[in-house]
Structure 1
């Protein structure tokens, strides 16, 4: 006979992250990490504003009022953008829909919490650089190891139109050089795509690999000096330096 005892909040969270997300849905590690971060923030907020530790929290505590207060806290106190706020809400909504199938006694609370809406926001118009401006940004000296890497990084971004997360995730084995050269990119949600490389880009990669003869197929194509993959913050920093240098010839780039 099935037990009529409602599952605990902690038990639901554990099942959601271990069995549901990883085993049943096989979500990517990045998605799991994003959901985890949302829950850590929510649990910390609950401890401060409800006076309950994570182990003492109940599903009924995650009601519409609490959820609205948490989202307001993200924007007001943590200065999260509306986009980030909505991502956190999406993670909690996914958990609540999961919990609704396992804890019928709190179905009304869950229904009301799920009614908390996503916030609309204006998407800014994406600008672009002219060919001359882009070539100026790409004109990084390859005399140093760091400059050589940065030039290839900017060239790949321009050639492929890839996201930063895709470029920093490229391994040496993802690049196929030959009569027709191309690159494998690994995107969000395990999506993969292959894009052609210009002959000049393929030539730049050959020169770069010739300068770094030790990497294996699993090594990052664009490593740090320590041999690790670059991260988004590092790419942003290096792009700012390249843009600043290019602004000497194109002053309008100083405001990019």
Structure 2
């Protein structure tokens, strides 16, 4: 069964172009599932049926896994058994009747503008790595792109004439994102100076370069964010996706239409973008004070 797992992982990495982060998560999930099968003395993948899958999910529930984590495990198994069915390794898909647990609605974490500015103040722009790290945060915030899209940006994907960047999104869907003057200045300085220092004479088409002159990875970006947060005054748990949430939230709070934000984020469905329609309490108070006739002046107490 380990061989089948390896074939599946190669398939999602090479043919489906899943991100490094997703491949790692799927590998970890499958390792855990195969260990469960081994412990339950299931020696052949064709023995796996609905009851075995239910037993595995029950074990996850008993271990107090969150609904979100269990949904991810189900997604992994769904993809794995679909792959096995496609390659005629199994005759029936045991995942057919398995549904995801209904998740509790949770508002996305986002940063207020002062928190974002605190984060941007941390990297030392006078050093090559500091300048690159500041660019990473500014790119994520100014464009709202995913970390997998960020690390695959090539220098030639950037059009300074109309201030756009071509990115390759989920499912190999190409789109263009827009950037403003602040990011434009940082990009030009980085490409014309800092990037050349980081390359150390090597060649690369990619925008973001690591300390050894190679391409910066998905994991590398996450480490940059982690280290930057540790040096800041922020106590929130911040990931590249939190900065993406921040982009969407600030755009909507600023008056952008939901459909426009959907296009910029690269969401196929508008419903996916709707999770960002939460509005900060400050924004609610501001709108209330500006629009409600009783908000700023005392009422008439004449009875």
TM-score (structure 2 length as normaliser): 0.60
1:134 aligns to 2:116 (yes or no): yes
Q: What residue is the counterpart of 1:46 in the other structure?
A: 37
1:236 aligns to 2:236 (yes or no): no
CA distance in 1, matches of 2:112, 2:178: 22
What is the aligned counterpart of 2:138 among 155, 158, 167?
155
Q: What residue is the counterpart of 2:241 in the other structure?
A: none
CA distance in 2, matches of 1:99, 1:154: 40
Structure 1: gaps spanning 5 or more residues: 1-8, 248-252
Query: Deviation at 1:234?
Result: 0.8
Q: What residue is the counterpart of 1:226 in the other structure?
A: 212
Report Cα offsets for 1:56-100 as digits up to 9, x if no partner. Answer: 41412x1223212323444555x7543232232223234545666
Aligned residues: 225
Q: What residue is the counterpart of 1:4 in the other structure?
A: none
CA distance in 2, matches of 1:20, 1:142: 40
CA distance in 2, matches of 1:97, 1:64: 14
**Contact 1:184–1:194 (CA under 8 A) maintained in structure 2:** yes
Q: What residue is the counterpart of 2:46 in the other structure?
A: 59
Query: Deviation at 1:136?
Result: 2.8
Q: What residue is the counterpart of 2:151 in the other structure?
A: 168
Query: Deviation at 1:155?
Result: 0.9
Query: Deviation at 1:142?
Result: 0.7
CA distance in 2, matches of 1:234, 1:20: 27
Query: Deviation at 1:126?
Result: 1.9
**Contact 1:96–1:114 (CA under 8 A) maintained in structure 2:** no
CA distance in 2, matches of 1:80, 1:227: 40
1:184 aligns to 2:166 (yes or no): yes
- The alignment's C-alpha RMSD in Å is 3.6
Q: Cα 1:127–1:46, aligned 2, differ >3 Å: closer, same or farther?
A: closer
**Matched residue SS, 2:235:** helix
**Contact 1:157–1:163 (CA under 8 A) maintained in structure 2:** yes
1:116 aligns to 2:98 (yes or no): yes
Q: Cα 1:81–1:163, aligned 2, differ >3 Å: closer, same or farther?
A: farther
Query: Deviation at 1:158?
Result: 1.3
Query: Deviation at 1:191?
Result: 2.3
